[in-house]
């Protein structure tokens, strides 16, 4: 956290260094404002100033266009420079473009309430998702990224946000307890859940979109995922390009059936019910073996 000392007082304000330090309210505020920026409803500097006022719970009472308030304006603009840390700069077709820094994979919205119903989300970086759940999530994530259709966004959120298990307290005592408060993923229930999700304010749904985008970025760019015992795996072997836009560009759906053919996890349905990271780890192992074999064959020819 950045500490901001208010001169002349003993008061110190805190301002998040990165999205990982956002509070729930800050995440929702950022989500609402950054969407306005992305659809070009506000300029970047205006976005930064609005974030400062929101994050520090400030209310604008002074007219910053008047010279007498120059000091206030200078202070706000100085603090607003901290907002630059939430973005990266990429050069696309010769132009510098602001991109959201993909650090929203920490779960800040573990539950969302819709009227009298509560829906629970996955853990950080989708660690407790099932592979079938993950694949469906990527489908809807990609669809919304490409079309902007809010129904795709609703379905995306409904894929990973689900009600609590029935008799949850009893379920926690079971030796088969999987550690997940949510009812088990069932693709046939997504449409029903989406009807409730559609009633959420858009900033909440877009905050989940940022979480999913960042989680997929975490997966696709992770070249040293800790799998315990001092061992790591390189998930980037499975993703030759960033999948924040083209989530299925490498045919992730096809892996469901390819793995079923190996009989390692069982049928396609069995594969879909495996933990996402367990399946990805197996795929990395397969890809590594394939690359090694290919390298050996290439060396044998030379």
Q: Judge whether 120 and 230 are in contact, CB under 8 Å.
A: no
**pLDDT tens figures, 78-94:** 899 999 999 999 888 88
CB 229 within 8 A of CB 278: no
Q: Which stretches within 173-237 are classed as H helix?
A: 190-197, 202-220
End-to-end Cα spacing for the chain: 56
Residue 25 has pLDDT above 70, yes or no: yes
The domain locations on the chain are 2-100, 111-298
Q: What is the pLDDT of residues 10-24, one digit of tens each?
A: 678 899 999 999 999
Please give the pLDDT value at position 293: 65
| CB distance 193 to 162 below 8 Å | yes
- pLDDT above 70 covers a percentage of the chain that reads 79
Per the model's pLDDT, the better-predicted residue between 224 and 194 turns out to be 194
- Nearest residue to 35 via CA among 19, 23, 24, 51: 51
Contacts of 215 (CB under 8 A, 6+ apart): 105, 124, 125, 126
CA distance 57 to 101: 23
Query: Is residue 53 pLDDT above 70, yes or no?
Result: yes
So what's the pLDDT on residue 107?
A: 97
């Amino acid at each position: 956290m950045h500490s901001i000392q208010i001169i002349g007082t003993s008061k110190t304000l805190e301002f998040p260094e990165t999205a990982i330090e956002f509070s729930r309210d800050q995440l929702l505020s950022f989500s609402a404002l950054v969407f306005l920026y992305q659809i070009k409803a506000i300029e970047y500097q205006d976005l930064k100033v609005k974030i400062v006022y929101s994050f520090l719970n400030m209310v604008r009472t002074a007219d910053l266009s008047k010279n007498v308030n120059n000091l206030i304006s200078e202070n706000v603009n100085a603090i607003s420079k901290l907002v630059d840390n939430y973005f990266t700069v990429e050069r696309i077709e010769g132009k510098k473009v602001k991109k959201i820094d993909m650090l929203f994979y920490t779960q800040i919205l573990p539950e969302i309430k819709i009227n009298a119903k509560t829906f629970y989300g996955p853990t950080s970086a989708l660690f407790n998702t099932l592979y079938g759940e993950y694949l469906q999530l990527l489908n809807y994530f990609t669809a919304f990224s490409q079309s902007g259709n809010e129904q795709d966004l609703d379905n995306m959120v409904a894929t990973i946000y689900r009600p609590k298990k029935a008799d949850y307290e009893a379920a926690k005592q079971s030796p088969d307890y999987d550690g997940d408060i949510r009812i088990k993923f069932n693709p046939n229930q997504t449409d029903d859940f989406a009807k409730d999700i559609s009633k959420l304010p858009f900033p909440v749904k877009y905050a989940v979109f940022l979480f999913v985008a960042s989680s997929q970025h975490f997966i696709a760019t992770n070249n040293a995922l800790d799998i315990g015992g001092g061992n790591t795996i390189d998930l980037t072997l499975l993703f030759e390009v960033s999948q924040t836009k083209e989530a299925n560009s490498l045919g992730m759906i096809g892996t469901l059936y390819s793995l079923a053919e190996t009989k390692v996890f069982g049928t396609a349905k069995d594969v879909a019910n495996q933990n996402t990271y367990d399946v990805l780890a197996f795929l990395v192992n397969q890809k590594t073996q394939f690359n090694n074999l290919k390298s050996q064959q290439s060396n044998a020819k030379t």
